[in-house]
């Protein structure tokens, strides 16, 4: 959050979003706003809008929106500090000196820096071992056998961890005395007696870099028959397995350019694919893809071709990954490589045997994940009804995850045809499953178009924009809690909280805290054309809300009265009468107030909901006598 008076706040005040965005997107002035072709999704007519007044952008097509920092972060695929720097530079604002940290933060940063240094040192050590020791030469021969020549070894920083047991330890100790830190680095392990030794021994080493290209871990393959075959760095202060994708640091450019990623299992696969000239490849480094890895990838592309190993572990991993990717709204294809002779082919083996061109051909023809899954289902026993049911049940969870209804329907037809099951039955199952999923899924694209009542939209605009009185309005709404139960309740509540916070929170930040559907609705409302906002209008909105509120109370009261209680005491009857009188008095007052308001609101601003409420109040009054 940009604290008032902070550097971020200053940059935000001084930067012009139209100028910054204009460096990436050709913008045309349309009324008060600017519009252009969205850089975040493919489109032919512009739905990407920038407001110089509000200093925000929003795409009515894909729903991306935010302030100048959000835009740069999305465009440059960088974090907030980096975006701040870029915006400051583009706006000619000098960067301040680094701020002081707390002693603890300082120590942690120092540890991380030292561990990073150790990894750099280890990398130098491993590559030297590979290049210039007898053991290393054996490893080189093995690598050559796997199709990795000198240039490849150099390009991917491949090295060798010798068998000695403490060779790296001695090398590192010359510079780093802190034993605790050495063990924390993950490069060195500690046995039960507390003695330190090299974690990786007699293994080929593959440096694993973070997104920024810094080595944060190693993945190592046994040279002989040692187990496990693959051994990686443990979790350390600089490395968390689920946050890193192997080769992402080198793939970034190609991912952006090609707008799709090839996802493979291991580093050997990633290297093989990249060496074949296809650099938009990343490896999950482990059989299962984790959600943070998917979110990381989503910053570069949302289209993936999964090309995992064809063994049963790889198949299970493929299915798990497909499910996770679909949940994050990815477009997923699956490449299952054909066996070579009687050997199941991973990308590494396939490219070595069949060549890059053949691989590329298959990659281009990779089917959407549903085809892959249907093929899998068809291999199940389909001779009995039970078997078919199993096959359908295997497919259903994936089908449910297709957000697009039309597409889902198309696939249902295909599944019915291919599995030879009764289509109406399948569809019934499918729609049942779709209903059950409604509560589980966070975003429901079908509901995105839902509109809030005009009075809610007016309130939202005022809470966001009406500098003169938005805090007062928030206070009043908070006091009376009139917005409760409304469609846009969450948006209004968030805006009230933001206005009443000790330091007011910008609307764009409020948007960031909302669920996707509410976030989009908020942006759309912010871009609506409006007349000048007045306190009068605010009061009229409050009055409308009071009317809705009263009506609801009255309805509840009326329902209550319909239930005749035989054992009702006199006291209870009297109390009921008193409540009725009170409600009536309030309804009358509301009706009078509303009539005054009606005269104030101009014709084009007339609110059908408000009119309806007036009518309901009048009806209620008539019925109650």
Residues making contact with Zn ion (CB under 5 A): 38, 40-41, 59, 61-62
Whichever of 164 and 403 has its CB closer to Zn ion, that residue is: 403
Smallest gap, in angstroms, from Cβ of residue 50 to Zn ion? 12
φ, ψ dihedrals at 51, nearest 5°: -110, 115
Whichever of 75 and 283 has its CB closer to Zn ion, that residue is: 75
Smallest gap, in angstroms, from Cβ of residue 520 to Zn ion? 11
Whichever of 39 and 512 has its CB closer to Zn ion, that residue is: 39
Q: Which of 283, 242, 286, 244 lies closest to 261 in space, CA to CA?
A: 283
Smallest gap, in angstroms, from Cβ of residue 36 to Zn ion? 10
Whichever of 57 and 125 has its CB closer to Zn ion, that residue is: 57
Q: Which of 53, 202, 175 lies closest to 118 in space, CA to CA?
A: 175
Smallest gap, in angstroms, from Cβ of residue 26 to Zn ion? 15
Whichever of 517 and 546 has its CB closer to Zn ion, that residue is: 517
Query: Position of tokens 């063990």?
Result: 183
Which H helix or E strand runs over 537?
helix 535-562
End-to-end CA separation in angstroms for the chain: 56
List CB contacts of 251: < 8 A, sequence separation 6 or more: 261, 274, 279, 280, 281, 282, 300
Whichever of 41 and 490 has its CB closer to Zn ion, that residue is: 41
> CA 475 to CA 454: how far, in whole Å?
21
Q: Which of 475, 439, 476, 473 lies closest to 458 in space, CA to CA?
A: 473
Radius of gyration of the chain (CA): 32
Q: Is the peptide bond before 228 cis (omega within 30 degrees of 0)?
A: yes
- Beta-sheet pairing, 159-161 with 303-306: unpaired
List CB contacts of 10: < 8 A, sequence separation 6 or more: 93
Whichever of 47 and 315 has its CB closer to Zn ion, that residue is: 47
Pair 382, 388: CB distance under 8 Å: yes
Smallest gap, in angstroms, from Cβ of residue 65 to Zn ion? 9
Smallest gap, in angstroms, from Cβ of residue 44 to Zn ion? 12
Secondary structure of 260-273 as H, E, C letters:
CEEEECCHHHHHHH
Q: How far is CA 257 from CA 26, 251, 278, 301, in A?
A: 19, 10, 12, 9
Whichever of 38 and 223 has its CB closer to Zn ion, that residue is: 38
Smallest gap, in angstroms, from Cβ of residue 523 to Zn ion? 12
Whichever of 62 and 196 has its CB closer to Zn ion, that residue is: 62
Smallest gap, in angstroms, from Cβ of residue 64 to Zn ion? 5
> CA 123 to CA 37: how far, in whole Å?
45
Whichever of 38 and 72 has its CB closer to Zn ion, that residue is: 38
Smallest gap, in angstroms, from Cβ of residue 40 to Zn ion? 5
Q: Which of 246, 269, 261 lies closest to 147 in space, CA to CA?
A: 269
Q: Which of 535, 550, 555, 554 lies closest to 600 in space, CA to CA?
A: 535
Whichever of 216 and 522 has its CB closer to Zn ion, that residue is: 522
Q: How far is CA 246 from CA 217, 296, 449, 516, in A?
A: 10, 12, 39, 30
Query: Position of tokens 């008095």?
Result: 585
List CB contacts of 393: < 8 A, sequence separation 6 or more: none
Give helix 423-437 / helix 405-419 axis angle, nearest 10°.
140
Whichever of 39 and 292 has its CB closer to Zn ion, that residue is: 39
Smallest gap, in angstroms, from Cβ of residue 521 to Zn ion? 16
Smallest gap, in angstroms, from Cβ of residue 259 to Zn ion? 14
Whichever of 25 and 281 has its CB closer to Zn ion, that residue is: 25
Smallest gap, in angstroms, from Cβ of residue 325 to Zn ion? 21
Whichever of 24 and 40 has its CB closer to Zn ion, that residue is: 40
Three-state SS for 239? strand
Pair 129, 162: CB distance under 8 Å: yes
> CA 473 to CA 470: how far, in whole Å?
5
Smallest gap, in angstroms, from Cβ of residue 70 to Zn ion? 13
> CA 606 to CA 455: how far, in whole Å?
10
Three-state SS for 581? helix
Smallest gap, in angstroms, from Cβ of residue 296 to Zn ion? 21
List CB contacts of 96: < 8 A, sequence separation 6 or more: 7
């Amino acid at each position: 959050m940009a604290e008032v008076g902070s550097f971020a706040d200053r940059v935000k005040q001084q930067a012009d979003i139209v100028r910054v965005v204009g460096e990436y997107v050709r913008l045309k002035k349309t009324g008060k706003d600017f519009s252009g072709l969205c850089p975040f999704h493919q489109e032919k007519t512009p739905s990407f809008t920038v407001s110089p007044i509000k200093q925000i952008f929003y795409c009515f097509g894909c729903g991306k929106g935010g302030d100048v920092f959000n835009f740069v972060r999305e465009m440059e695929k960088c974090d907030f500090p980096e975006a701040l720097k870029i915006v400051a530079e583009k706006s000619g604002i000098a960067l301040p000196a680094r701020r002081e940290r707390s002693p603890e933060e300082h120590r942690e940063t120092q540890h991380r820096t030292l561990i990073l240094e150790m990894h750099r040192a280890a990398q130098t050590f491993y590559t030297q071992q590979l290049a210039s020791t007898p053991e290393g030469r054996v490893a080189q021969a093995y690598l050559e056998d796997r199709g990795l020549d000198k240039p490849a070894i150099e390009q991917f920083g491949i090295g060798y961890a010798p068998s000695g047991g403490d060779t790296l330890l001695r090398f590192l100790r010359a510079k780093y005395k802190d034993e605790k830190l050495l063990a924390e680095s993950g490069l060195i392990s500690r046995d039960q007696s507390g003695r330190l030794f090299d974690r990786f021994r007699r293994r080929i080493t593959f440096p694993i870099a973070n997104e920024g290209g810094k080595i944060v871990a190693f993945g190592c393959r046994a040279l002989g028959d040692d187990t496990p075959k693959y051994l990686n760095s443990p979790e350390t202060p600089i490395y968390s397995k689920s946050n890193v994708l192997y080769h992402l640091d080198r793939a970034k450019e190609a991912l952006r350019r090609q707008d799709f990623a090839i996802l493979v299992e291991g580093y050997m696969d990633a290297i093989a694919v990249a060496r074949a000239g296809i650099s938009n490849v990343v490896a999950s480094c482990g059989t299962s893809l984790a959600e943070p890895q998917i979110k990381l990838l989503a910053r570069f592309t949302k289209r993936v071709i999964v090309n995992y190993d064809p063994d049963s572990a790889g198949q299970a991993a493929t299915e798990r990954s497909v499910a996770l990717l679909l949940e994050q709204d990815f477009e997923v294809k699956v490449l299952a490589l054909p066996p070579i002779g009687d050997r199941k082919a991973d990308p590494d083996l396939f490219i070595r045997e069949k060549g890059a061109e053949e691989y590329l051909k298959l990659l281009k023809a990779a089917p959407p994940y549903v085809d892959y899954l249907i093929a899998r289902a068809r291999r199940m026993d389909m001779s009995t009804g039970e078997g078919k049911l199993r096959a359908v049940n295997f497919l259903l969870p994936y089908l449910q995850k297709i957000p697009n209804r039309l597409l889902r329907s198309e696939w249902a037809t295909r599944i019915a045809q291919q599995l030879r099951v009764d289509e109406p039955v399948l569809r019934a199952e499918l729609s049942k499953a779709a209903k059950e999923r409604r509560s589980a899924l966070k975003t429901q694209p079908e509901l995105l178009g839902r509109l809030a009542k005009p009075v809610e939209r007016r309130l939202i605009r005022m809470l966001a924009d009406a500098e003169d009185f938005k805090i007062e309005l928030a206070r009043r709404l908070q006091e009376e809690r009139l917005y409760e139960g409304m469609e846009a309740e969450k948006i209004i509540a968030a805006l009230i909280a933001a206005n009443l916070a000790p330091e007011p929170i910008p609307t764009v930040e409020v948007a960031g805290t909302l669920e996707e559907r509410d976030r989009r609705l908020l942006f759309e409302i912010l871009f609506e054309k409006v007349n000048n906002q007045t306190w009068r209008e605010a009061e009229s909105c409050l009055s409308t809300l009071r009317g809705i509120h009263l009506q609801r109370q009255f309805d509840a009261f009326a329902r209550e009265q319909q239930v005749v209680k035989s054992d009702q005491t006199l006291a209870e009857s009297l109390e009921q009468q008193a409540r009725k009188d009170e409600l009536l008095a309030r309804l009358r007052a509301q009706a009078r107030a509303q009539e005054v308001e009606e005269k104030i609101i101009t014709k084009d601003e007339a609110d059908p909901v408000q009119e309806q409420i007036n009518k309901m109040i009048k009806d209620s009054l008539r019925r109650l006598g």
